[in-house]
């Protein structure tokens, strides 16, 4: 048997081309698809890694400034508690020599629908001296909570109050008695605060 070399070479080359076309090319396409998928997953992983490393960096910066963040949380708390606000107003009023005659919640609503920030407005009726009101306003300013005073209304003087003397009222006074009259005025304040 005599082999025809050009025909045998052509058959071998044709067989190699067919094998490459049916075996190697599909595997190569599969390899390319897997390589593309791997590239996409690697890019997604790199993006998530960069995102979480950025969060870690921001968290570390926030932890360095923890006291400032706590002040912000105190100024605009995330939990809304009307009771604590009412107690705060009553306590500050008594500390400064004012009497709380009435305390009303005037408004509690979001500033705008897109924001979680809520605006809370209280109307407070107080009775006391002007200096006591000034001290009360100063204590609100010094507070860590954020307060805005929208409106202050002053009323006319309430009947004067005289302090009781240590001696009985029937005993005659031996010397001229100086009676100090405490002038009290009604005040109405509209105070606005914020919460998340």
What pLDDT score does 179 carry? 56
What pLDDT score does 160 carry? 56
Q: Is 80 exposed, middle or buried (0-12, 13-18, 19+ CB in 10 A)?
A: middle
Whether residue 94 is found in the same domain as residue 188: yes
Q: In what order do the strands lie in the sheet with 99-110?
A: 99-110, 118-128, 185-195, 147-154
Model confidence at 113: pLDDT above 60: yes
Whether residue 109 is found in the same domain as residue 183: yes
Average pLDDT, the chain: 81
Whether residue 99 is found in the same domain as residue 45: no
SS3 at position 97: coil
What pLDDT score does 143 carry? 84
What pLDDT score does 47 carry? 94
Check residues 137 and 1 and name the one with the higher pLDDT: 137
Whether residue 96 is found in the same domain as residue 183: yes
Number of domains, the chain:
2
Residue 124 domain boundaries: 77-164+179-195
Residue 165's pLDDT band, with cuts at 50, 70 and 90, is very low
Domain end, chosen from 15, 37, 64, is at: 64
Beta strands 185-195 and 147-154, pairing class: antiparallel
What pLDDT score does 104 carry? 86
The CA distance from 187 to 127, in Å, is 6
pTM, two decimal places: 0.54
Joined tokens for residue 10: 């052509």
Whether residue 117 is found in the same domain as residue 51: no
Q: What CATH code is carried by the domain that includes residue 131?
A: 3.30.70.60
Whether residue 7 is found in the same domain as residue 42: yes
Whether residue 41 is found in the same domain as residue 88: no
For residue 169, being part of any structural domain is answered with no
CA–CA distances in Å: residue 125 to residues 101, 122, 167, 191: 5, 10, 35, 11
Whether residue 29 is found in the same domain as residue 113: no
For residue 32, being part of any structural domain is answered with yes
State whether the Cα torsion 174-178-182-183 is positive or negative.
Answer: positive
Whether residue 38 is found in the same domain as residue 106: no
Domain end, chosen from 64, 90, 106, is at: 64
What pLDDT score does 42 carry? 95
CA–CA distances in Å: residue 148 to residues 6, 12, 76, 116, 133: 99, 92, 12, 19, 15
What pLDDT score does 18 carry? 85
For residue 72, being part of any structural domain is answered with no
What pLDDT score does 163 carry? 52
For residue 71, being part of any structural domain is answered with no
pLDDT tens per residue, range 46-91:
999 999 999 999 999 988 888 877 777 777 776 777 888 888 889 9
pLDDT tens per residue, range 20-40:
888 888 888 899 999 999 999
């Amino acid at each position: 048997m005599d082999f025809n070399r050009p025909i045998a070479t052509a058959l071998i080359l044709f067989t190699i081309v067919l094998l490459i076309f049916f075996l190697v090319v599909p595997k190569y396409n599969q390899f390319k698809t897997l390589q593309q998928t791997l590239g996409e997953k690697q890019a997604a992983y790199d993006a998530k890694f960069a995102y979480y490393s950025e969060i870690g960096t921001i968290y570390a910066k926030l932890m360095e400034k923890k006291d400032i963040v706590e002040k912000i949380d105190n100024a605009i708390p995330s939990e809304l508690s009307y009771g604590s606000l009412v107690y705060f107003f009553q306590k500050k009023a008594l500390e400064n020599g004012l009497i709380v005659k009435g305390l009303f919640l005037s408004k509690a609503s979001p500033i705008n629908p897109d924001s979680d920030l809520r605006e809370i407005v209280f109307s407070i009726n107080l009775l006391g001296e002007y200096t006591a009101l000034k001290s009360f306003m100063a204590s609100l300013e010094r507070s860590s909570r954020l307060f805005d005073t929208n409106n202050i209304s002053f009323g006319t003087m309430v009947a004067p109050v005289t302090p009781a003397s240590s001696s009985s009222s029937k005993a005659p006074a031996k010397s001229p008695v100086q009676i100090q009259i405490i002038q009290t005025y009604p005040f109405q304040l509209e105070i606005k605060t914020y919460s998340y």
